[in-house]
Amino acid sequence: MSNNLTLRPDLRNVADWINPNASVLDLGCGDGSLLAWLSGNKRVQGYGVEIDVDGVTACVEKHVDVIQTDLESGLGTFQDNTFDYVVLSLTIQAMHNIENILLEMLRVGRTGIVTFPNFGFWENRWQLALGRMPVSETIPYEWYNTPNIHLCTIYDFGRLLNKLGMKTTGQVVMHQGQKVSFLPNLRGSLALVRFDKA
């Protein structure tokens, strides 16, 4: 059964990395759009994890299996190697223990996929040079009301993966829904990284 739901461009790229009939855990799944699309178009079996009540309600309305819990407490609910893919989309920058969630992702899954705002984007650099904290499409909050506590560049994230014994197996950098291939750390506002154990 095909699903006519339209995905955001970043989620469409994430979906392109996921094989048909795979098992997927979507952490911070929001309204469940990615899992609903994958279920309808790629026959994926999946679970979402979401803390926000409105997100959980939206998932249920889309017939997405969802667990309401805080990711900071870890993924102890799930056994080792339960999923083919574990996705963390636009959530990692708001987490306190990033190293732990990345390790947990590859404990419960074979492949991790993370998307995050690229702090190395030229507009962010320019705003810092002008003496103010960046506000942009991918970092839409002021410094005093942001949930984002750990901002990084594409290079920073790659270095963290290496430190944790992981390797990048795919990367897409985007700006305003379009892929950026030339000088991606400078010209891309959003990074999508697929990774496995090294």
The answer to whether 175 and 190 have CB atoms below 8 angstroms apart is yes
Share of the chain above pLDDT 90, in %: 81
Res. 41: pLDDT tops 60: yes
Non-local CB neighbours of 149 within 8 Å, separated by 6+ positions: 93, 94, 95, 96
* Spatial separation of the C-alpha atoms in residues 13 and 102, rounded to whole Å: 20
Of 35-39, 105-109, 149-153, the poorest mean pLDDT is in 149-153
Q: Name the residue among 107, 120, 71 with its Cα closest to residue 92.
A: 71
Mean pLDDT confidence for 110-126? 94
pLDDT at 104 over 90: yes
pLDDT of 114 above 80 = yes
